[in-house]
Amino acid sequence: MPRLAIHRLSMAHPGDLSELEGVIRRGEVRAGDVRAVIGKTEGNGGLNDFTRGFFTQTLMLLLASHTGEAPSALAARIPCVLSGGTEGALSPHYMVFSVSDEAAPGQRGLALGTAMSPVTPAREIGRVAQIEAVIAAVRAAMADAGIGRPEDVALVQVKAPAPQAPDPAARSTDAKFLMALSRAAAAVGAGVALGDIDAARATEAALLTDLSLYSNRVSISSGVEVTCNEVVVFGYAEGWQDGIVAGVAPMADLLDLAGVQAAFPAAPGEVLGVIAKGEPDRSGAIRGFRHTMLGDTDIDAQRHLRGALGAIVAAVAGDGRVFVSGGAEHQGPPGGGLVCVFARRP
């Protein structure tokens, strides 16, 4: 019977995996059982944020030293979802999700499944091909976890690719815009797979324009360190040991403290990790009052967002090790987002 375990570990710098080395050497985690890693590095979160690739390379080398597998083989099957930017109260950290088989009576518990889409070149980013690739990958990850119904899915986390080099066949020459398009396509694809978005409305033209299309169960990041859509699905399935729960709550806007607070009692017990997505409201106002995040030429809007939302979520969690990511296109209502809490039952 599969058993999911979550270890939230700190890092002294983007290549520091000493805490993971420690839990492996102590026998708390078998390197071969690691199925996914989700974390925050201290880069800028933009196209030139190399902290994510540095961490991923170091991670695969560490796991390879314990498993004997080639780092490239590990990278091809273990999603490494990293979000750059630990502004304000946020603390660099990573969550290691491992799955082991342990004998136990039949139960129903939190399951984890993963899948990788085919390589997504720049010309397919933000197009129907990417949407369809994510739909297929989410369904494959659900099958991997043994999750039979979309309604049993708690959260879909995707790391989507950003263009590594200009391509005249791409939808735009603006690399930052393509990064947003990639998040949007992945979010819409995941939403279709979950039944939260009507497949007939999941068109290229709808991306970043029809913001009525969203799912509050998907969290998407994008970056140049990946070449395909790396998918991790969390949900409830028969045959998985009970003990870890996931509580997910929507956020109506950046100031939705009640939404943040609601996620924690939905996952009672010892908090093992927190994921939050947010978005600077494109209207230029929050609850009728003007904000300046989108017009600041000195500090990127997403850095404003991570600093603000990070402080709110970290204050509720009582811990700066929370995964807070901007760019919440189609991942909640305009200007909103979601919070997911993983916890071990008391």
The residues annotated as belonging to the active site are 159, 221
Cα-Cα-Cα-Cα dihedral sign, residues 267, 7, 141, 189: positive
Token pair of 321 as six digits? 């090790």
Q: For residue 54, with 0-12 CB atoms within 10 Å meaning exposed, 13-18 middle and 19 or more buried, which class applies?
A: middle
184, 189, 191, 194: CA torsion to nearest 10? -160
With b for 16 or more beta-carbon neighbours within 10 A and e for fewer, the 157-189 pattern comes to bbbbbbbeeeeeebbeeebeebbbbbbbbbbbb
CB 244 within 8 A of CB 236: no
Phi, psi at 84, each rounded to 5°: -80, 150
Taking the C-alpha atoms of residue 68 and residue 61, their distance in angstroms, rounded to an integer, is 10
Nearest CA among 183, 229, 230, 243 for reference residue 208: 183
Rounded to 5°, angle at Cα 157 from 37 and 87: 70
Residue 84, SS3 per DSSP: strand
Nearest CA among 293, 295, 288, 270 for reference residue 345: 270
